[in-house]
């Protein structure tokens, strides 16, 4: 067996493929998080309604329920490419439809459409995650996942920066149509690439595709450790996810224009985030995954407090860029370690379903907790139908960000069990049986 050179592990076609898969995977999510929230806020929708709209991201939580279908069925293109192509075509057609609706009069239709986009986006993630896990060699998993995650974040520049700038000069139908066209590179990649041999070995039945991934995970970990692992995946990114859930409305409330947000806030956050992710991948080689999870996670929590300071500092471009840059760098480091953990916990024999389970749990805070963020900031009456349950006093932005900081601590405490400081690097459950 020939051991690949260091250069081949860093610069090869498989790593480059991860750039486009990451971009294609991230674009529709950032449409829902960044562009949609700014559009609704400008259209007069209140923060509570925008926060509740995060519930349409439920497909990212429940995608493990239909992931076995992606493991079991496919066409002549292959199991992964079949689902990638179908979802990319659907997203290319669905995203432009937002521009023809009105935030003031069509909020119900917007909610339904956003749920459809989230469903296709989550299904695309299932196929892309499985495809990436299968084309990368074992020694490429760390770098390949870091590259994918960073390309995922770069995709946020389109709806979070370019589209916002275009919205000051073009109509919303034109903005959403231009945004959707950025799905085309990923679609062309799907038509061009080939699937590895292992992708053609589908489970013998749908029942096997559903049961075996969960059975293997519990048998490998044991019930107690399996539940602790799942709890850690849920809590590790909770504080960061809550802090950035209403980022664009927060900037608008501080008096920043959409162009300022597009040019300053998004760029100041993106590149430190990308650099943090790349440095995190390199530093993990020396630190080990356990210590990286501790150090990067602690920094990821501390930088949230910068937003609390910004809430009191008010409109300051320098302050905005500094706080967002620091937060993005810390989150980039934390994400690098977190993705490495998820990759190590996944058995390549059950790629799509186990990856979907872990990433679904990671997305849960973004959907459930983020739906409450508008109420936490502004307060309001909590109702169940016509029944008034209670009145929630608003925290305001500054105290809200302090709450986000404390929400990040449970994930760090679980590291005592999940990844003890003096423990060895997390071991993958099995050697990959495939080559690209």
Contact status, residue 423 vs residue 122, Cβ threshold 8 Å: no
**Sign, Cα dihedral of 47, 246, 24, 182:** positive
Per residue in 243-272, pLDDT (tens digit) is 887 787 888 888 888 788 777 766 777 778
Instruction: Categorize the per-residue pLDDT at 382 as very low, low, confident or very high, splitting at 50, 70 and 90.
Output: low
What does the pLDDT read at residue 22?
93
| Span of 88-92, 148-152, 385-389 with lowest mean pLDDT | 385-389
Per residue in 49-108, pLDDT (tens digit) is 777 777 777 888 888 889 888 888 888 888 889 999 999 999 999 999 999 998 888 888
Helix or strand (DSSP H, E) at 389: strand 387-393
Q: Where on the phi/psi map is residue 396: left (φ > 0), alpha (ψ -120 to 50), or beta? A: left
What does the pLDDT read at residue 1?
43
- CA–CA separation, 258 and 47 (whole Å): 17
| Percentage of the residues of the chain whose pLDDT score is greater than 70 | 86
Backbone angles phi, psi at 389, to 5 degrees: -90, -55
Residues constituting the chain:
436
**Residue 28 reports pLDDT greater than 60:** yes
How many angstroms separate the most distant Cα atoms in the chain?
A: 69
The percent of the chain in helix, strand and coil, each rounded to the nearest 5, is 80, 5, 20
The residue-averaged pLDDT of 345-350 equals 73
What does the pLDDT read at residue 280?
78
Higher pLDDT, 103 or 11: 103
**Residue 337 reports pLDDT greater than 90:** no
DSSP 8-class letter at 156: T
Per residue in 178-192, pLDDT (tens digit) is 999 999 999 999 999
Mutual orientation of helices 223-235 and 351-371 as an angle, nearest 10°?
A: 50
3-state SS, residue 392: strand
The residue-averaged pLDDT of 21-46 equals 88
- CA–CA separation, 370 and 394 (whole Å): 15
Closest Cα partner for 359 from 382, 335, 329, 375?
Answer: 335
- CA–CA separation, 29 and 56 (whole Å): 11
Nearest-Å Rg of the Cα atoms of the chain is: 21
- Distance between first and last Cα of the chain: 14
Mutual orientation of helices 206-221 and 223-235 as an angle, nearest 10°?
A: 100
Q: Which domains does the chain have, with CATH numbers?
A: 9-418 (1.20.1250.20)
Helix or strand (DSSP H, E) at 148: helix 141-154
Higher pLDDT, 90 or 35: 90
Closest Cα partner for 320 from 257, 371, 396, 370?
Answer: 257
Q: What is the mean pLDDT of the chain?
A: 82
Burial profile 77-97: b = 16 or more Cβ within 10 angstroms, e = fewer: bbbbbbbbbbbbebbbebbbb
From residue 88, how far is each of 81, 93, 123, 137, 307 by CA, in Å?
10, 9, 10, 26, 35
Chain position carrying tokens 């916002």: 164
Contact status, residue 211 vs residue 72, Cβ threshold 8 Å: no
What does the pLDDT read at residue 433?
41
| Neighbour count for residue 300 (Cβ, 10 Å) | 27
What does the pLDDT read at residue 98?
94
């Amino acid at each position: 067996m020939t051991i690949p050179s260091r250069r081949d592990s860093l610069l090869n076609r498989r790593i480059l493929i991860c750039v486009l898969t990451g971009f294609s995977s991230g674009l529709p999510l950032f449409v829902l998080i960044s562009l949609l929230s700014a559009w609704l806020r400008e259209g007069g929708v209140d923060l509570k309604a925008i926060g509740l709209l995060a519930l349409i991201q439920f497909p990212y939580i429940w995608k493990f329920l239909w992931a076995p279908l992606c493991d079991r069925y496919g066409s002549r293109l292959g199991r992964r490419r079949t689902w990638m192509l179908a979802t990319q075509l659907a997203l290319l057609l669905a995203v432009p439809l937002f521009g023809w609706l009105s935030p003031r009069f069509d909020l119900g239709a917007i909610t339904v459409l956003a749920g459809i986009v989230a469903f296709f986006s989550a299904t695309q993630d299932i196929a892309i995650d499985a495809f990436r896990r299968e084309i990368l060699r074992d020694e490429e998993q760390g770098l390949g996942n870091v590259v994918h995650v960073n390309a995922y974040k770069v995709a946020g520049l389109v709806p979070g920066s370019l589209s916002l700038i275009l919205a000051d000069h073009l109509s919303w139908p034109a903005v959403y149509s231009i945004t959707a066209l950025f799905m085309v590179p990923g679609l062309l990649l799907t038509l061009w690439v080939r699937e590895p041999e292992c992708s053609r070995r589908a489970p013998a039945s749908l029942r096997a595709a559903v049961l075996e991934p969960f059975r293997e995970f519990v048998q490998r970990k044991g019930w107690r450790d399996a539940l602790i692992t799942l709890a850690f995946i849920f809590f590790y990114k909770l504080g960061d996810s809550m802090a950035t859930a209403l980022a664009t409305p927060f900037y608008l409330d501080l008096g920043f224009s959409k162009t300022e947000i597009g040019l300053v806030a998004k760029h100041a956050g993106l590149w430190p985030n990308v650099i943090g992710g790349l440095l995190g991948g390199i530093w993990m080689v020396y630190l080990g995954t356990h210590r990286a999870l501790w150090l990067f996670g602690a920094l990821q929590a501390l930088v949230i407090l910068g937003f609390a300071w910004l809430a009191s500092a008010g409109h300051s471009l320098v302050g905005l860029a500094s706080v967002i840059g620091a937060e993005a760098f810390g989150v980039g480091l934390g994400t690098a370690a977190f993705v490495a953990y998820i990759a190590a916990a996944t058995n390549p024999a059950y790629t799509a379903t186990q990856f979907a389970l872990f990433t679904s749990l990671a997305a849960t805070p973004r959907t459930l907790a983020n739906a409450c963020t508008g109420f936490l900031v502004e307060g309001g009456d909590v109702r169940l139908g016509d029944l008034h349950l209670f009145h929630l006093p608003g925290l305001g932005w500054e105290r809200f960000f302090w709450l986000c900081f404390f929400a990040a601590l449970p994930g760090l405490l679980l590291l005592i069990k999940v990844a003890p400081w003096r423990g060895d690097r997390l071991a993958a459950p099995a050697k990959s049986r495939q080559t690209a």
